[in-house]
Structure 1
Amino acid sequence: MSERVVVVTGASSGIGRAAAKAFAARGDRLVLAARSEGDLHQVAAECRGTPLIVPTDVTKRADLEALRDAAVAEFGHIDVWADTAAVMAYGRFEDVPAEVFDRVITTDLLGSANVARVALRQFRDQERGTLILCSSLLAHITAPYMSAYITAKWGLRGLARTLAQEARETPGIKVCTVAPGSVDTPVYTSAANYAGFVGRPPPPVDRPERVAAAILRQADKPGREISVGPANRFIEFGFTALPRVYDVLVPPMMRRFGLSREPVSRHPGNVFGPAKRVEGGPGRPTWRQVTAVATGGVAAAAVLSQAVRRLSSS
């Protein structure tokens, strides 16, 4: 067995679940945390060894203090803390209830800040430790119908970069991130929805195990950020270098590939509390379909962009 002690917040599903199983396969001693105790027990049963289970809501600072205390009482220290807890909401900004928008921000940004505050205090006491925050491709780009999640992830990107800079003053402490693109997890079907159709990850879609492998690499040899997704850099380039083209393309692409054709009534999903986990989801569009639409869209957007430039210069 490894002497390394790893805390995973958001361990009940998706990327956190895959990361927990990957750490366990390495022989690390695990502390699993999430809101749903029942789901945590299911994950623990899939892990090698006997993980410590601590039901935790990252929006509650007292829960995180109790989590830290339980981990230290059981194992004496914490070497790695991986935070993957997140919720999502679909819908145009004005259609998403304010309380839902605020709760997504509270969970995905302030919840990670709460985790960082507790973890870094523990690491400072130990004079060592690695904090891994789960960022997103959507911390580098924008897309319609996901304003709350994107706002939170852009904020988290700034927080993580700042914490990494401050951690340079304490050589034994590292802060790093993993930024996945589309991943096949229940987060899309569990999300709050005010868009009228069930959400789905647009292609290309990665397995959560690939993201978990990147989290393990950061735990073994911390770096600044690992981007996980074959199209991530291409999409980021389009967002940065061709903003007019990107803004023309992304709304229809999101409607076609980020939302399924399966209708759904308005609901808050798992934003305010645990909900039944739904594995899989609506059929994924093929990469060939996306390429065909994107090729036609790029041509149309290029013509539009050229026209705009001509008008601007006239």
Structure 2
Amino acid sequence: MSGSSLAGQVVVVTGAARGVGALLARKLAARGARLALVGLEPDELANVTAAIGGDAACWTADVTDRPSMTRVAEEVAAHFGRIDVVVANAGVATGGPFLDSDPDVFDRVIQVNLLGSVATARAFLPALVASRGYLLQIASLAALTPAPLMAAYCASKSGAEAFAHSLRAEFGHQGVKVGVGYLSWTDTDMVRGADQDEALREMRAKLPWPTNRTYPLEPAVERIAAGVVRRAPHVYAQWWLRGMQPVRGLLPSVIGGALGRREMRRAQPALARGAGVPRGLVGSGGAADQAGRTAAHHTRSR
């Protein structure tokens, strides 16, 4: 097998209905992988699956639902005969002042981004042990540096990063490789949804270069796909993120000190204008997550 090929390998991608997950699935299929797509939006998943073609298949599941994820893992293994790679990509976000946040929405970000990754690993790791495979946990710039107005997202991505590092140490002797993927602000529904919040948009615009840019999706996902081929321990969707690692220990003091106080003072007018406006999960993916949970609640209530 060539160094740029995934020929015949079975790859599972969660959060595959749109954005990073959908494009990553296409890029991995172009490298010869056989794709199993997992997500909450059956119509969108079906469209992505049809676009990939071949023997790609999709499963509708909430990554926080452990029994559902166990079922999906069993069905994927039965359908393809093996599982070689799992990309834990599913994620949601919200923003705004912590004390003004909806506790259920805040907790949902933790549940999907951290506990959903835990449920994904719990379901699929037995198959990866059998194949001596690779698990890539998608994290974020938010795992490297804290940020005001983003407490839920930063906490969830930091936790997911630490979880993946722990799994790497625990399963390495069994031949399983574990990687962490880092993305800065990338042009997805989630980021465009976050930019609809005036305070978040203004604060992000004042961040130092290169953290204040929105980066195009295609080259970011191309870097992630290349990392999957290499089974890399760290994958950086934007080149400069690698340089954040050596200084990450300094960032909480910098951002939590004078810089954070200054930017929060500057944000007060925008925050005041947004006071009382409910903040839910951002973007189309967030709306789909809310719709899925509402439908599940109605089903249980019958």
Question: Do the structures match in fold with TM over 0.5?
Answer: yes
- 2:170 counterpart (159, 166, 172): 166
In 1, distance between residues paired with 2:181 and 2:121?
Answer: 15
In 1, distance between residues paired with 2:168 and 2:217?
Answer: 25
Residue 151 of structure 2 is aligned to residue 147 of structure 1: yes
1:99-138 to 2 correspondences below 5 Å: 99-124=104-129, 126-138=130-142
- Report the secondary structure of 1:153's partner residue: helix
Q: TM-score, normalised by structure 1?
A: 0.75
Residue 280 of structure 2 is aligned to residue 268 of structure 1: yes
Name 1:183's counterpart in structure 2. Answer: 186
Contact 2:86 2:134 (C-alpha < 8 Å) held by counterparts: yes
Name 1:211's counterpart in structure 2. Answer: 220
**1:220 to partner: Cα distance:** 1.8
In 2, distance between residues paired with 1:251 and 1:40?
Answer: 43
**Cα distance 1:253–1:48, how it changes in 2: closer, same or farther (>3 A)?**
farther
In 1, distance between residues paired with 2:134 and 2:218?
Answer: 20
Name 1:97's counterpart in structure 2. Answer: 102
**1:58 to partner: Cα distance:** 0.2
Contact 1:178 1:225 (C-alpha < 8 Å) held by counterparts: yes
Name 2:88's counterpart in structure 1. Answer: 83
Amino acid at match of 2:289: P
Q: TM-score, normalised by structure 2?
A: 0.78
Q: Greater Rg, structure 1 or structure 2?
A: 1
**Cα distance 1:127–1:21, how it changes in 2: closer, same or farther (>3 A)?**
closer
In 2, distance between residues paired with 1:209 and 1:250?
Answer: 32
**1:123 to partner: Cα distance:** 1.8
Q: Deviations over 1:151-200 (max 9, x none)?
A: 011111111111000122212x111111111111001345699x665759
- Report the secondary structure of 2:174's partner residue: coil
Deviates more, 1:3-12 or 1:198-207: 198-207
Q: Deviations over 1:265-302 (max 9, x none)?
A: 424235584369xxxxxxxxxxxxxxxxxxxxxxxxxx
Contact 2:146 2:252 (C-alpha < 8 Å) held by counterparts: no
**Cα distance 1:36–1:78, how it changes in 2: closer, same or farther (>3 A)?**
same
Contact 2:102 2:280 (C-alpha < 8 Å) held by counterparts: no
**1:98 to partner: Cα distance:** 1.3
**Cα distance 1:62–1:191, how it changes in 2: closer, same or farther (>3 A)?**
farther
Contact 2:224 2:236 (C-alpha < 8 Å) held by counterparts: no
- Report the secondary structure of 2:108's partner residue: helix
**Cα distance 1:145–1:198, how it changes in 2: closer, same or farther (>3 A)?**
closer
Name 1:296's counterpart in structure 2. Answer: none
Aligned-pair identity in percent equals: 29
Q: Deviations over 1:205-244 (max 9, x none)?
A: 2222233223323322222212222443566666544655
Amino acid at match of 2:60: P
- 2:258 counterpart (237, 248, 251): 248
Contact 1:44 1:51 (C-alpha < 8 Å) held by counterparts: yes
**1:127 to partner: Cα distance:** 4.1
**Cα distance 1:266–1:67, how it changes in 2: closer, same or farther (>3 A)?**
same
Considering fraction of residues, name the structure with more helix: 2
- Report the secondary structure of 1:133's partner residue: strand
Name 1:35's counterpart in structure 2. Answer: 40
- Report the secondary structure of 1:45's partner residue: helix
**1:52 to partner: Cα distance:** 0.3
**Cα distance 1:150–1:2, how it changes in 2: closer, same or farther (>3 A)?**
same
Which sections of structure 2, spanning at least 5 residues, go unmatched? Answer: 1-5, 206-211, 292-302
Which sections of structure 1, spanning at least 5 residues, go unmatched? Answer: 277-314
In 1, distance between residues paired with 2:218 and 2:103?
Answer: 34
Aligned CA RMSD, in angstroms, stands at 3.1
Name 1:298's counterpart in structure 2. Answer: none
In 1, distance between residues paired with 2:60 and 2:35?
Answer: 14
Contact 1:90 1:145 (C-alpha < 8 Å) held by counterparts: yes
